Amino acid sequence: MGDRGAPDPEGVVDLIRAGDARTIARAITRAESGDPGVEAALRLLHRHTGKAHVVGVTGPPGSGKSTLVDKLVKTYRERGLSVGVVAVDPSSPFTGGAVLGDRIRMQGRALDEGVFIRSLATRGSLGGLSKACAETVRILDAAGYERVIIETVGVGQSEVDIVKLADSVLLVSVPGLGDDIQAIKAGVMEIGDVFVVNKADRDGADRVVREIRAMLETAWVNTGAGGRLIASGGAHHAASPSNTAAGVADEDPHAFLAKLPPVLKTVAETGEGVGALVEAVEAHRAKLVESGLLEERRKANAAAELKAALAARVLARLEAGPAGAELLRLAGELATRERDLYDALETLEGILSASGSPLAGRSGTNPGQAGD
Amino acid sequence: MERTIRVLVAKPGLDGHDRGAKVIARALRDAGMEVVYTGLRQTPEQIVQAAVQEDVDVIAMSILSGAHNHLFPRVTELLAEKKVDDVLVIGGGVIPEGDYEFLKSKGIAAIFGPGTPTATTVEFIRTHLKR
């Protein structure tokens, strides 16, 4: 294997790119546990990423995401594309343990060499993903998987981190979850590029489709569809006059509807509708590429990831230095009401600026260097 | 660095009784481990493939069909074929005590029969990890 102890980064990268399952799996484990030993390989790997189309699948618990992912993988395989799957399930906030059960529904793909399935626990992340998700996607991407599907934890109303990682987001709904007010709330319902009503053989599926369509049409009229939806619609201008109610009325209704994200019915259990769903995802991908929005979206996502990583590093450095003790002391004073939050923050900011930058000890050419 | 212990809980063979496997999955979860549960009717090939992709430290198999002497050793053979030597393999279920020695000789580190306190299994895993 040769990747235990101090792995040779070039060797690890070569094995990952050659699709060696154990090296891929071990690199993911190392990235997940924050092992500094894997960082050199991840750096080298980065330039080999960006080829895979990343598809996020999100929706409430029990909506059939895992079964749907299984059928998506099957359909992609029939079309000759290799697929990586990252399936996220929650960690216990108390013990840190987790039961990762998404593989149960994916057994049909178990022995296919063109499929790599990895289960991740959230390990404290609250946005529906796990901290190591981005690195896991990059590792699978570099390993040559042409589509990487991320299945989020079962989401409620506000876990929207998937938009920061996926090129195309599938939002899975099912009949019977609530009335039409659910569809007009902010949050999860806004992030879909393709909307799926799964378990469509059940009563009420058509109603859910109508409610989602109505939500999307209203969003278009009110805002020109908003950031995420614009990408799906292919329009680059928000709230331009043609998107006002009057503008919509003038427009050919078919052309208008064609701009909205598709809403599709599936029965994942039988595979019904999954072919059309894959078509819709691929059409979204083509639109993203053609319009240049893919680059735009990836830049925004990279900025978000960089900011989050920087914030984590600044905090880690602060805590490791003399300011760490100061932070705890200030926290005590906050609790006893001797100080207020803003006062404490100013004191800490003072420490940060007095020591120059918290990253002052770091070489400017190596912003991603591991900590001490 | 503290690494989270990852365990694959699998049901090889054709019996459909997974209560025991689920009880173990839950106990390991409550002991702070990450349990990948793969469900019923797994072939040894599927189990080993999943163990490699999930990079688990432990494979825990439960079987009630009586095919343990065939299926458990097949898993350790496949691991050896893939040169995976750092995964702890344990078993449980309805297995006659007379078969324990044979299974141990085939690389199954321990068998936990019905009535084993889950704490015993947790402790065994913690103290016998291979990496």
Q: How far apart are CA A122 and CA A284, in angstroms?
A: 28
Architecture of domain B6-128: 3-Layer(aba) Sandwich (3.40)
Which tokens hold the place of A210?
Answer: 């109508």
Nearest to B29 among A4, A97, A104 (CB): A97
Q: Distance, in angstroms, between A35 CA and closest chain B CA?
A: 8
Interface test mutation site (partner B, options A100, A105, A135, max chain B beta carbons within 10 A): A100
Flag whether residue A110 sits within 8 Å of chain B, measured between CB atoms.
yes
Among residues of chain B, what percentage have pLDDT more than 90?
A: 74
Q: What residues in B contact A26, CB-CB < 8 Å?
A: 55
Predicted confidence band of residue A241 (pLDDT cuts 50, 70, 90)? very low
pLDDT at A311 over 90: no
pLDDT higher at A67 or A361: A67
- Reduced to 3 states (helix: H, G, I; strand: E, B; else coil), residue A294 is helix
**What is the arithmetic mean of pLDDT over A176-183?**
65
- Residue A93 phi, psi (nearest 5): -70, -15
Q: How far apart are CA A313 and CA B99, in angstroms?
A: 54
Task: Specify whether the CB–CB gap between A160 and A191 falls below 8 A.
Answer: yes
Tens-place pLDDT, residues B21-39: 899 999 999 999 999 999 8
pLDDT higher at B131 or A331: A331
Flag whether residue A118 sits within 8 Å of chain B, measured between CB atoms.
yes
**What is the arithmetic mean of pLDDT over A55-73?**
92
What part of A 48-107 touches B (C-beta under 8 Å)?
A: 91-92, 95-101, 103-104, 107
**What is the arithmetic mean of pLDDT over A264-291?**
94
Predicted confidence band of residue A250 (pLDDT cuts 50, 70, 90)? low
Which residue of B lies nearest to A96 if distances are taken between CA atoms? Answer: B32
Q: Cβ A104–B38 below 8 Å, yes or no?
A: yes
Which region among A74-88, A309-323, A355-369, B109-123 has the lowest average model confidence (pLDDT)?
Answer: A355-369
In this predicted structure, what is the pLDDT of residue A360? 45
Q: Cβ B30–A95 below 8 Å, yes or no?
A: yes
In this predicted structure, what is the pLDDT of residue A224? 62
The DSSP bridge partners found for residue A149 are A55, A85
The third-level CATH classification (topology) of the domain covering A50-290 is Rossmann fold (3.40.50)
Domains of chain A, residue spans:
1-48, 50-290, 302-354
Q: Distance, in angstroms, between B50 CA and closest chain A CA?
A: 7
Which region among A125-129, A230-234, A249-253, B107-111 has the lowest average model confidence (pLDDT)?
Answer: A230-234
Which residue of B lies nearest to A100 if distances are taken between CA atoms? Answer: B36
Q: Cβ A91–B34 below 8 Å, yes or no?
A: yes
Nearest to B55 among A28, A107, A121 (CB): A28
Q: What average pLDDT does the structure give for chain A?
A: 82
Q: Encode burial over A52-69: b for 16+ CB neighbours within 10 A, e otherwise.
A: bbbbbbbbbeebbbbbbb
Domains of chain B, residue spans:
6-128
Nearest to B4 among A33, A110, A118 (CB): A33
Which region among A88-97, A135-144, B68-77, B86-95 has the lowest average model confidence (pLDDT)?
Answer: A88-97
pLDDT higher at A285 or B66: A285
Predicted confidence band of residue B20 (pLDDT cuts 50, 70, 90)? confident
In this predicted structure, what is the pLDDT of residue A34? 84
Q: How many Cα atoms occupy the beta-carbon half-sphere of A285 within 13 Å?
A: 17
Cα dihedral A15, A21, A22, A24 sign: positive
Interface test mutation site (partner A, options B23, B40, B42, B54, max chain A beta carbons within 10 A): B54
pLDDT at A23 over 90: yes
Tens-place pLDDT, residues A69-83: 999 999 999 999 999
* Radius of gyration of chain B from its Cα atoms, rounded to whole angstroms: 13
DSSP string over chain B: -----EEEEE-BSS----HHHHHHHHHHHHTT-EEEE--SSB-HHHHHHHHHHHT-SEEEEEE-SS-HHHHHHHHHHHHHHTT--S-EEEEEES--GGGHHHHHHTT--EEE-TT--HHHHHHHHHHH---
Please tell me which of A155-164, A228-237, B2-11, B80-89 the model is most confident about, judged by mean pLDDT.
B80-89
In this predicted structure, what is the pLDDT of residue A246? 46
Tens-place pLDDT, residues A144-155: 999 999 999 887
Q: How far apart are CA B91 and CA B105, in angstroms?
A: 13
In this predicted structure, what is the pLDDT of residue A313? 84
In this predicted structure, what is the pLDDT of residue A158? 66
Amino acid residing at A158: S
Tens-place pLDDT, residues B37-61: 998 888 999 999 999 999 999 999 9
Lay out the sheet containing B88-93: strands in order across. Answer: A98-100, B34-37, B6-10, B58-63, B88-93, B110-112
- Tokens 């709330």 correspond to what residue? A185
In this predicted structure, what is the pLDDT of residue A216? 83
Which tokens hold the place of A234?
Answer: 């292919």
Which tokens hold the place of A21?
Answer: 């399952």
pLDDT at A232 over 50: no
Nearest to A97 among B28, B46, B53 (CB): B28
In this predicted structure, what is the pLDDT of residue A263? 92
Q: How many Cα atoms occupy the beta-carbon half-sphere of B109 within 13 Å?
A: 17
Q: How far apart are CA A18 and CA A221, in angstroms?
A: 49
Interface test mutation site (partner A, options B3, B43, B49, B126, max chain A beta carbons within 10 A): B49
Tens-place pLDDT, residues A80-108: 999 999 999 888 878 888 888 888 888 87
> Residue B80, class by beta-carbon neighbours within 10 Å (0-12 exposed, 13-18 middle, 19+ buried)?
exposed
Which residue of A lies nearest to B27 if distances are taken between CA atoms? Answer: A97
Angle between helix A226-233 and A205-223 (nearest 10): 100
Which residue of A lies nearest to B34 if distances are taken between CA atoms? Answer: A98
